[in-house]
Amino acid sequence: MFEEAQYLAPVTRKADGSIEVELSRSHPGFADQVYRERRNRIAELALRHTPGEPIPEVDYTPEEHDVWRIVSAELAVAHQELAVAEYLHGCRRLDLPKDRIPQLQEVSELLEPLTGFRYLPAAGLVELREFYGTLADSYFHSTQYIRHHSVPLYTPEPDVVHEVIGHANALASDRFAALYRLAGEAARRVESREALEFVSKVFWFTLEFGVMAENGELKAYGAGILSSYGEIREFRGMDIRALDLAAMGTTAYDITHYQDVLFRAESMDHLEDVVGAFWATCDDESIARLSVAVS
């Protein structure tokens, strides 16, 4: 939840102190009063959370648990065929519930002994520097609501399916967790807004939407592909380009539809050597040089 932030529904406090999530007219839940009420309550919970305290529990409805059950079963099948081995390794280690939405506190407690990562609830937009910076401390800001039941295949809005099935399974792998941390360290190191955006775009085209060659086949490791059973069935037909820092850091993308440009790493080692090393060492100057190379 970060670049995605630009799509997130704004959260406002009304005069009477209550919290309102402003869904846009085009949101599938816009006309659904019950869903809107849920979103307001869940945002309120996140705002009440104090770091260090357990993450407040959401009393998900049977209908919401159904969405998780259906989506997670579909995705588990797709993952066997289309996800990279390192992600599947994370799935086996984390072993998420399939029949109900797990509480973020529970996800956090499953994850911490594996790689040290913990979850924090986010009511809405988390500022770029904050979202990435805290990755360096092994914290992942996560939304807690679930997508509207009318759009289980794909949502442009990050939800608990995306944050947990997409990201937590990756964060359960030591190798992916190390990459997330390096992205966080890079975000803390760079100073200019331009450099921070470059770092976040490299994250977008890798940990969010990255694909990888594996045994002669194209597999996905990006959380955004791995949480959408619409998109995961389509990514092999997209415009697949070679891994290229300058291109990833400067290519524009539209969050509201399937990503049509994807960058392919040749292996886990390749991803670590190029992107991991970039995040480990980049600064404003090196990023300015990379940006000039493509403009």
Strand segments, DSSP code E, in the chain are 11-13, 19-21, 118-121, 139-142, 211-214, 217-220, 239-242, 261-265
CB nearer Fe ion, residue 103 or residue 206 = 206
Q: Where are the alpha helices (DSSP H) in 165-222?
A: 169-171, 174-189, 193-203
* Min CB(150)–ligand TIH separation in Å: 13
- By CB under 6 A, residue 155 contacts ligand TIH: yes
CA distance 171 to 118: 9
In the complex, residue closest to Fe ion by CB: 223
State which of positions 135-154 bind ligand TIH (CB under 6 A). 154
* Residue 233: DSSP 8-state: G
Residue from 72, 173, 227, 228 carrying the catalytic annotation: 227
**Strand, coil or helix: what is 242?**
strand
Q: Which residues between 225 and 244 bind ligand TIH (CB under 6 A)? A: 227-228
149 φ, ψ (degrees, to nearest 5): -60, -15
27: contact with ligand TIH by CB under 6 A? no
Our CB check for ligand TIH shows the closer of 43 and 290 to be 43
106 is annotated as an active-site residue: no
Output 35 or 132, the one with its CB closest to Fe ion: 132
Pick from 56, 124, 158, 249 the residue near ligand TIH by CB under 6 A: 158
Q: Which of 2, 4, 125, 182 binds ligand TIH (CB under 6 A)?
A: 4
Q: Is 149 a catalytic residue?
A: no
CA-nearest of 272, 258, 114, 133 to 190 is: 133
For residues 137 and 177, give the distance between their C-alpha atoms in angstroms, rounded to a whole number. Answer: 11
Query: Which is the catalytic residue, given 3, 185, 208, 231?
Result: 208
Residues 186 and 181: their CA atoms lie apart, in Å, by 9
Place of tokens 């019950």: 34
Q: Report if residue 261 touches ligand TIH, rule: CB under 6 A.
A: no
Binding site for ligand TIH (CB under 6 A): 4, 154-156, 158, 161-162, 208, 224, 227-228, 255
Catalytic residues, which ones? 162, 167, 208, 227
Interacting residues toward Fe ion by CB under 5 A: 223
